[in-house]
Amino acid sequence: MPVVPLARRAGTRTAVVAALTLAGTALSGVSALAAPIPGDNGDVKIHASTTAAVNQRNDPKVCDFYLAAFNFDAGEQINWTIQTQPEVPGGATRTGSFVADPTGMGRTEAVDLPNGQYKLTWLTDQAHGAGKFKVFKVDCPTSKPTTPVGGPPAGGGGIARGEAFTPVTGAAAVGLAAVAGTVWFRLRRRPDGAA
């Protein structure tokens, strides 16, 4: 291994220390640039009506729902719009606003929309851009479950519903009455056994 003069080693150390100092300065500057800009750090989530307001998940397919806000600046006003996706002239549209509480959270009342695909866009009073958006789907059952009409299948037991019976009218009623009367008289015998 060759011997390097002491003066030359000192110059190399100085160069290494200078390079590390510059790198440290550059890295500290990057972290300052990566910090969130006030007004652009919040997020709005679509929550099913059964999702807790503090839960930060997003529900992209809902029926009954509300909007929940997270990580906004305290007192920041969030203005939101929901439109059909793709946009349809005369399609369902909802708009509103709410203010973030001191913890940066907020929520709307329940939002009601017909089934379809929608785009939520929000912009705050402190934002630096065109706003942020999410696409989601409203998918509610079209009707409630129905119970079958009529009696149970053969051998199923149970009671038949009233709609399964039809009234007896006209000649059929007279015939049934005559048959019933004959059966009744036939069953009523005198105690001595004579008919």
Contacts of 81-88 with CB under 8 Å at 24 or more apart are 81/120, 81/121, 81/122, 82/111, 82/113, 82/118, 82/119, 82/120, 82/121, 83/118, 83/119, 83/121, 84/116, 84/117, 84/118, 84/119, 85/116, 85/117, 85/118, 85/119, 85/135, 87/119
**Per-residue pLDDT at 93:** 93
- List alpha helices for the chain, DSSP H: 6-34, 170-187
pLDDT for 164 equals 45
**Do β-strands 132-138 and 116-124 pair in parallel, antiparallel, or remain unpaired?**
antiparallel
Rg (CA), the chain: 40
- With the C-alpha atoms ordered 20, 21, 25, 26, is the resulting torsion angle positive or negative? negative
Q: Is the pTM of the predicted complex or chain greater than 0.85?
A: no
Mean pLDDT per 10-residue section of the chain, whose length is 195 residues: 54 54 49 56 94 94 96 93 91 94 95 95 84 94 58 48 48 52 50 60
Give me the pLDDT at residue 18, please: 52
Q: Are 125 and 77 in contact (CB under 8 A)?
A: yes
- What integer pLDDT is reported at residue 177 of this predicted model? 52
The C-alpha atoms of residue 85 and residue 146 are separated, in whole angstroms, by: 32
SS3 call for 84: strand
CA dist., res. 38 & res. 190, Å (int): 105
Predicted pLDDT of residue 185: 46
pLDDT at 178: 52
